[in-house]
């Protein structure tokens, strides 16, 4: 039986977080995490190329079996939403190019899976990531969000079992029957 290795991605044009975990039965083990940063003085095509290359390097280095990406939320600023969508597209393209199946999760789904409710603060998510992976300290915020996305996938994401959300609705940030 192979041990699933999951790459979580928190896409951003300026900073894209990544986190790699393994699932050993019910136990999650930390493998790696970090951030891929683009140069905001470069044009959009160069920044997207940086993200694509960075994620491709993470795939080559850590050899994940599957990937989980956070879905874009609609921002107050339409321009920011478009740029985030382009960064997310670059991330998904790199994952698919690397031969990985890609699952997508909303921030609410990630928070629900990691903290237990969908309206958790960023600090609560970071704290639970540290606890669930037995880390000696808190990773950078973007890396913690990426690890949280990988944890959400491991806890019940498409194909892995445990947190079946089909047939449930969301009320007040919680899954209900």
pLDDT tens-digit series, residues 82-119: 999 999 999 999 999 999 999 999 999 999 999 988 88
Which class for 130: exposed (0-12), middle (13-18), buried (19 or more C-beta within 10 A)? middle
Q: C-alpha dihedral over 31, 155, 118, 106, to 10 degrees?
A: 80
Which candidate in 22, 104, 142, 145 is catalytic?
142
Contacts of 123 (CB under 8 A, 6+ apart): none
| pLDDT, position 177 | 47
Which candidate in 10, 22, 104, 145 is catalytic?
10
Mean pLDDT over the full length of the chain: 88
Q: In the predicted model, is pLDDT for residue 135 greater than 70?
A: yes
142 vs 91: CA distance, rounded Å: 14
Strands 169-171 and 174-176: antiparallel
Active site residue 142: yes
Active site residue 40: no
128 vs 114: CA distance, rounded Å: 7
| pLDDT, position 1 | 64
| pLDDT, position 157 | 61
Which candidate in 22, 70, 104, 145 is catalytic?
70
165 vs 158: CA distance, rounded Å: 10
Segment 164-173 mean pLDDT:
45
DSSP class of 72? P
Confidence of residue 36 (pLDDT cuts 50, 70, 90): very high
Nearest to 17 by CA among 44, 42, 54: 54
Paired residues of 174 in beta bridges? 171
Active site residue 127: no
Confidence of residue 33 (pLDDT cuts 50, 70, 90): very high
Segment 36-65 mean pLDDT:
97
């Amino acid at each position: 039986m192979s041990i699933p290795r999951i790459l979580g991605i928190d896409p951003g044009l300026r900073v894209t977080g990544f986190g790699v975990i393994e699932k050993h039965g019910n136990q999650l083990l930390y493998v790696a995490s970090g951030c891929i940063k683009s140069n905001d003085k470069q044009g959009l095509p160069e920044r997207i190329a940086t993200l694509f290359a960075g994620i491709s390097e993470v795939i080559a280095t850590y050899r994940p079996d599957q990937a989980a990406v956070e879905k874009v939320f609609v921002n107050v600023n339409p321009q920011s939403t478009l740029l985030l969508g382009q960064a997310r597209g670059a991330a998904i393209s790199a994952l698919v190019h690397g031969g990985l199946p890609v699952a997508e999760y909303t921030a609410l789904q990630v928070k629900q899976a990691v903290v237990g409710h969908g309206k958790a603060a960023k600090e609560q998510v970071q704290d639970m990531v540290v606890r669930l992976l037995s880390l000696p300290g808190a990773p950078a915020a973007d890396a913690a969000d990426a690890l949280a996305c990988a944890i959400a996938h491991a806890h019940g994401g498409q194909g892995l079992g445990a947190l079946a959300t089909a047939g449930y609705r969301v009320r007040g940030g919680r899954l209900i029957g």
